[in-house]
Amino acid sequence: MSAQAYYKTPKDLPREDWLAPGHRLCAGCGAAIATRLIFKAIRGPTIVVNPTGCVEVSTSCYPYTAWRIPYVHVAFENGAAVASGIIEAIKILNKKRGKKLHDVIVLAGDGGTFDIGLQALSGALERGHNMLYVCYDNEAYMNTGIQRSGATPLGAATTTSPAGKVIPGKQERKKDLIGIAAAHRIPYAATASISHPIDLVNKVRKALEIEGPKVLHVLCPCVPGWRYPPSETVKLARLAVETRYFPVYEVENGRVKINIRVDKPKPLEEFLKPQRRFAHLLKPENAHVLEALKKAVEENWERLVRLEESGVTI
C-alpha cells in the first residue's frame, strides 16, 4: 500500500477541521499546522490522547477547548499508557454492545516522546496496542521554556544548552525515534514534514488502516524556539527535507522506503541561517561543530539509502 493511495492533491482533503480556530498556539506554529493536517485523515470515531505540551496548553485551557472530537489530556509522561487503557476498555465495551471500534491517536511533543514518555511508548509498542502515536517534533521543550530535549539537534542553542565560549550549544546528537520504534518490530513507522502535506495526511490514513501499533514522527518548526519570523515556518520545514536534515521515509514491516528522494541536497547552511538558534555555528570558531552536524546528517541519509537498496529489515 503506497503512502500516496488516499489523497493526491490538497483539493482531495476533507473540508472538516477537527481543531477549531481561536486556540492559543503561536502565529506560524508548525505543530498547529501538523495537528490540523493529521486529523484531516481520521476515518470515523476517534479519540485523541494529548499529553502536556504546546498543543495541550494552547488548545484546552479550562474552561475552553479547541477540540471537536473526544479529547483526553494526560500527564507529560503517560500518553501511550493512557491510550493503551482506552483501547482495551473500548474492546470490552464493543464486545458487549457490538459497536464499531474507535481509532485512538496519541498526539505528543518531542519532550513527551523522546524523553519523558519513552518508557510508556516502548511498553505500548511491545504489548501491541492498536494505536497511532504521533510525535510533533519542535526539537525542544518549547512549552516550558525552550529547554533541550533528546530531539534537539547537535549544536542547537536552548536555555539549557546555551551557546557560549566554552560550550557551543547542545553537545549530543538527536535520538533516532523511528529507529527505536522500528526495533520493537511494529508494522509501521514513518517520518513526515508539514512542508509535504499530502505525504503527511496519507501516512496518517495509511497507519490507521494497519492493525497494531504505529508511530509517526512529524517535524514542526517553532517560531520562538528556533527564533525565526512566523512567515518562514513552512519554508524551513521544506529546507529541512531538501538539505537531508530531516529525511522523509517509512519503515513498513521492517523495510525502509524513502518517500522523498533528495539526490541533490541544498547546503545545510540554507536551513541553519534563518534560525538564530544556530547563529553561533556559522562563526569560524565553531566550524568544527558545523562540520560534525553536516557529517551526522550525511551519515544518516547514506544509512537509509543502504537499508532501502539492500531490502534488509531493521
Classify domain 10-310 at the CATH topology level.
Answer: Rossmann fold (3.40.50)
Residue 240, pLDDT score: 98
Over residues 93-113, the pLDDT tens digits come to 888 877 677 899 999 999 999
Q: Which three cell numbers stand for residue 41?
A: 485523515
Residue ranges of alpha helices (H) inside 13-139 are 30-38, 54-59, 79-97, 118-127
Residue 96, pLDDT score: 81
Residue 4, pLDDT score: 52
Q: Which three cell numbers stand for residue 283?
A: 562563526
pLDDT at 144 over 90: yes
* Phi, psi for 157 (deg, rounded to 5): -90, 125
- What SS3 state is found at 104? strand
Beta bridge partners of 189: 215, 251
* In the chain, domain spans: 10-310
* CB-based contact 223:230 (threshold 8 Å): yes
Residue 1, pLDDT score: 41
- Residue 114: what residue type? F
Over residues 48-81, the pLDDT tens digits come to 999 999 999 999 998 999 999 999 999 999 999 9
The separation between the first and the last C-alpha atoms of the chain, rounded to the nearest angstrom, is: 19
| Buried/exposed code over 120-154 (b: 16+ C-beta within 10 A; e: otherwise) | bbeebbeeebbbbbbbbbbbbbbbeebbbbbbbbb
The average pLDDT across 37-53 equals 96
Q: Is pLDDT larger for residue 313 or for residue 183?
A: 183
Least confident of 18-22, 168-172, 227-231, 242-246: 18-22
Q: Which three cell numbers stand for residue 189?
A: 513507522
Q: Which residue spans within 140-286 are E strands per DSSP?
A: 188-193, 214-219, 249-252, 255-258
| pTM across the whole model | 0.96
pLDDT at 312 over 90: no
State the chain's mean pLDDT as an integer.
Answer: 95
Q: Is pLDDT larger for residue 94 or for residue 165?
A: 165
The side-by-side arrangement of strands in the sheet containing 132-137 is 71-74, 46-51, 103-109, 132-137, 214-219, 188-193, 249-252, 255-258
| Buried/exposed code over 18-55 (b: 16+ C-beta within 10 A; e: otherwise) | bbeeebebbebbbbbbbbbbbbbbbeeebbbbbbbbbb
